[in-house]
């Protein structure tokens, strides 16, 4: 450890200020010492890699027929605004796979030509993405 007495000759001198260059303002000086990310976007790429997705399940023909029957029954009852729970697949826009979501809402329309279900909240679900659908029973109090 150095002896503090070694600096006695300069300790009380005034701080040097250049006559040639103007003094930098505090924010500019602070910017010199700001953290620096050498690999821009690296952290986001790591987070994206860590994010898990599921593979889409392939349904057999019998199960697809059962789903089509359920949809037809619900379509026949569409005037009563049936409340349904639908589990369906949403494809991930950034990588392979996606996730399964279950939503419960009333059906606004079933389009058998485009093969989509439109819910009251305007969510559109393709028949192909559905893996489960069941009509909910509303309890009247």
**Residue 84 in 3-state DSSP?**
strand
pLDDT score of 16: 85
Q: For residue 100, what are the domain limits?
A: 61-136
Specify whether 65 is located in the same domain as 128: yes
In a domain, 126, yes or no: yes
Q: What residues have CB less than 8 Å from 99, skipping those under 6 apart? A: 53, 54, 89, 90, 92
pLDDT tens digits, one per residue of 17-57:
888 988 888 888 887 777 766 677 788 888 888 888 899 99
pLDDT tens digits, one per residue of 94-131:
889 999 999 999 999 999 999 999 999 999 999 999 99
In a domain, 74, yes or no: yes
Compute the Cα dihedral for 106, 112, 113, 116 and give only its sign. positive
In a domain, 99, yes or no: yes
In a domain, 29, yes or no: yes
In a domain, 105, yes or no: yes
Q: How many domains does the chain have?
A: 2
Specify whether 74 is located in the same domain as 104: yes
Query: 1: pLDDT confidence band, cut at 50, 70 and 90?
Result: low
């Amino acid at each position: 450890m150095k002896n503090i007495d070694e600096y006695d000759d300069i300790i009380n001198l005034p701080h040097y200020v250049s006559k040639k260059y103007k003094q930098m303002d505090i924010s500019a000086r602070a910017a010199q010492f700001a953290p620096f990310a050498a690999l821009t976007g690296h952290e986001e790429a790591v987070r994206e890699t860590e994010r898990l997705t599921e593979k889409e399940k392939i349904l057999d023909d019998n199960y697809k027929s059962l789903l089509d029957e359920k949809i037809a029954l619900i379509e026949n009852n569409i005037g009563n605004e049936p409340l349904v729970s639908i589990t369906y697949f949403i494809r991930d826009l950034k990588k392979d796979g996606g996730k399964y979501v279950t939503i419960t809402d009333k059906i606004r329309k079933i389009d058998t030509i485009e093969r989509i279900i439109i819910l009251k909240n305007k969510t559109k679900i393709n028949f192909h993405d559905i893996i489960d659908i069941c009509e909910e029973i509303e309890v009247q109090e």
